[in-house]
A and B are shown apart, each in its own frame.
Chain A
Amino acid sequence: DTEVTQTPKHLVMGMTNKKSLKCEQHMGHRAMYWYKQKAKKPPELMFVYSYEKLSINESVPSRFSPECPNSSLLNLHLHALQPEDSALYLCASSQEGFANTGELFFGEGSRLTVL
C-alpha cells in the first residue's frame, strides 16, 4: 500500500476544460513533488514544494498551476491543456525539506488523457 494517495486515478479532459489532480500524504514529509511521465520514459520533475513553499518550477507552462494548501496536500490545477500533455502524473514526497534527497515516496499516479 502506498502512503501517498493520488486522485483521480484516471482523467479524460478536453482542451478547454479545467480540472485538478490531488495528492495527499500523512507521513509528516516536508517536501512534495509533481512529476510527469510519458510512456517508456523516466519521470520528469515539474514542481517541488518545500515547507509549503514553491521551491522549484522546472519551466513548466502556465497551463499547469500547482498549489500546496498545507503540508499534507498538493494540487495540480490544469487548464487549456494540449494533447501532448497526456501522461502519467506522479506525486511524491520526501521526509526533509527539499535539498536533493533521492529517497522519494511516490503515489500511484493520475493517468491524464487530453482530447
Chain B
Amino acid sequence: AQSVTQLDSHVSVSEGTPVLLRCNYSSSYSPSLFWYVQHPNKGLQLLLKYTSAATLVKGINGFEAEFKKSETSFHLTKPSAHMSDAAEYFCVVSDPGRDDKIIFGKGTRLHILP
C-alpha cells in the first residue's frame, strides 16, 4: 500500500527567497506523484505531476519537483517566493493501474514573510 508524508506542517520563508516543501512517499510499485495547491477557501489546483517520465518536473507558477527513487522523495521547490504563493500544499501519491486509492499528504502551510 502506498503512503505519503509531508515532513513540515508549516514553512515560513521571506519573499524572494527559495521555497522547499518536503514530501516522502512509500509505494510498492512505480507511483505517480503530484503536488496540489489550495488557496484559502478555494479548491485544489494541480501544480505538477510525475508519471515515470523525466525525474525533474516543472509545474505552474515557477514550481518544480524532483523524483528521487533512492530517497523516496518528491520535494517541491521554487527559486524565489512570491506573496501569492502563500497557501496550503498537498503531496499526493497514486499507483496507476492498481486498485489502491489516491493518497493525500496532511499538507504544508506555506507562509510568505514580507
Contacts and interface: CB of A to CB of B under 8 A. Distances in A.
Given A41-B106, A45-B102, A108 B42 contact: yes
A99 B32 CA distance: 12
B106 A90 contact: no
27 contacts: A4-B43, A40-B107, A41-B107, A42-B104, A42-B106, A43-B104, A45-B101, A45-B102, A56-B101, A92-B44, A99-B98, A99-B99, A100-B98, A100-B100, A100-B101, A101-B32, A102-B34, A104-B44, A104-B102, A105-B46, A106-B43, A106-B45, A107-B43, A108-B42, A108-B43, A109-B42, A109-B43
Nearest to A33: B102
B41 interface: yes
A50 to B, nearest CB: 12
Interface string B78-114: 0000000000001011111111111011110100000
B106 A104 contact: no
Contact of B97 (A40, A99, A102): A99
A25 to B, nearest CB: 12
